[in-house]
Amino acid sequence: MLLNLNNIVKRINKEIAQFNFGNEPKELYEPIRYSMESTGKRLRPLLTIWGTYLFSDDLEQAYQPAIAIEVFHNFTLMHDDIMDNAPLRRGRETVHTKWNPNIAILSGDVMLVKVYDFLSKVEETKIKRVISSFNACASKVCEGQQRDMNFETQAVVSEEDYLKMIRNKTAVLLGYSLELGALISGADDKNIQLLREAGESIGVGFQLKDDLLDVYGDEKNFGKKKAGDIAANKKTFLLIKAMEAASDKDKKILKNLYSSSNTKEEEKIRQVMAIYDKLEIRAITEKKIDEYFKDGLKKISAVEASLYKKARLKDFIKELITREK
């Protein structure tokens, strides 16, 4: 069976558009439809389809659980935007900006409830494990978000702590997306674990690449303001490695730039990037990204499934790896 990804994405978008999240009160349900209209890449539901496809040609069983992951992902974004006070998401007003924070909180809560409706569509014999694994994943996502918020007031963040944060906040959901597909298709424990670990490694690689593209990516391609993380004083992998490698003089400059509001934004970005360039932080980050992507692809290779299907999945991942946005 050949996998037509364009048709799968169209099917996912159609089912999301047709699903009745609820009607009244409209202030509760319109924000949900609004947030789900912004299609994004639909990466996570696609990975659930891939996880199923590796072990079964029956993809019908995967669509409802796959949509559950997309609804959960958008729920986390809705609540993250409130905590970050973000005005825009994917070029549109965030829900708490378009409506208000209280509505965004409550609409997000309903989205989380609906996740369980979608997950309940799996075979009865698999529901308990699917729900248990999802709950563990969702808890990790919340832990990651809390760690990220903690970093805002921490003077020093270690590489180990940062990597743990992005694994929980971002990567575990990619790992669960592949794991879910394997679970519902009846894969054994060894292959389920391999896919979960593969997705997590790839997810860490993606987040590190986002860190890199924020500073070194083309603003037109990346779709975000260049060096926004520097402007916002975010403690990214690049900053952590720079603080580790910098001379006392440069370390003092970085600390001053990240603690003072007196320096103009453009000058701050210029000075930080000059230190990054001097310390070859881009190359250091690219090496770390490559390590995680290679680990993820290696684990996919170890999965006991069709060589053809695994090759297709790895090609899909490699296309995502080379993205510039």
What's the confidence (pLDDT) of residue 324?
64
CA-CA distance, 33 to 202, in Å (whole number)?
29
- Residues 135-146 have pLDDT tens digits of 999 999 999 999
Q: Which two tokens stand for residue 18?
A: 């047709």
What's the confidence (pLDDT) of residue 69?
98
- Tokens 């990220």 correspond to what residue? 148
Q: Which burial class, exposed, middle or buried, applies to 249 when counting CB atoms under 10 A from its CB (0-12, 13-18, 19+)?
A: exposed
CA-CA distance, 115 to 66, in Å (whole number)?
10
Q: Which two tokens stand for residue 13?
A: 């978008």
- Is residue 45 in some structural domain? yes
Residues 124-142 as b/e (b if ≥16 CB within 10 A, e otherwise) read eebeeebeebbeebbebbe
CA-CA distance, 235 to 307, in Å (whole number)?
40
**How many domains does the chain fold into?**
1
Whole-prediction pTM: 0.94
Q: What is the CATH number of the domain that holds 131?
A: 1.10.600.10
What's the confidence (pLDDT) of residue 74?
96
Half-sphere exposure of 76 (CA within 13 A, CB side): 20
- Residues 158-201 have pLDDT tens digits of 999 999 999 999 999 999 999 999 999 999 999 999 999 999 99
Residue ranges of the chain whose pLDDT lies below 70: 39, 219-225, 324-325
If DSSP codes are grouped into helix, strand and coil, which group holds residue 291? Answer: helix
Cβ neighbours around 310 below 10 Å, total: 18
Q: Which burial class, exposed, middle or buried, applies to 67 when counting CB atoms under 10 A from its CB (0-12, 13-18, 19+)?
A: buried
- Is residue 263 in some structural domain? no
Cα-Cα-Cα-Cα dihedral sign, residues 74, 162, 43, 84: positive
- Is residue 309 in some structural domain? no
- Is residue 210 in some structural domain? no
- Is residue 224 in some structural domain? no
If DSSP codes are grouped into helix, strand and coil, which group holds residue 159? Answer: helix
Q: With beta carbons less than 8 A apart as the criterion, state whether 177 and 47 touch.
A: yes
Q: With beta carbons less than 8 A apart as the criterion, state whether 65 and 118 touch.
A: yes
Whole-angstrom CA distances from 195 to 174, 183, 228, 323 are 10, 10, 33, 22
- Is residue 174 in some structural domain? yes
What's the confidence (pLDDT) of residue 262?
85
What's the confidence (pLDDT) of residue 318?
94
- Is residue 54 in some structural domain? yes
- Is residue 99 in some structural domain? yes
Domain that holds residue 168: 1-187
Q: With beta carbons less than 8 A apart as the criterion, state whether 179 and 208 touch.
A: no
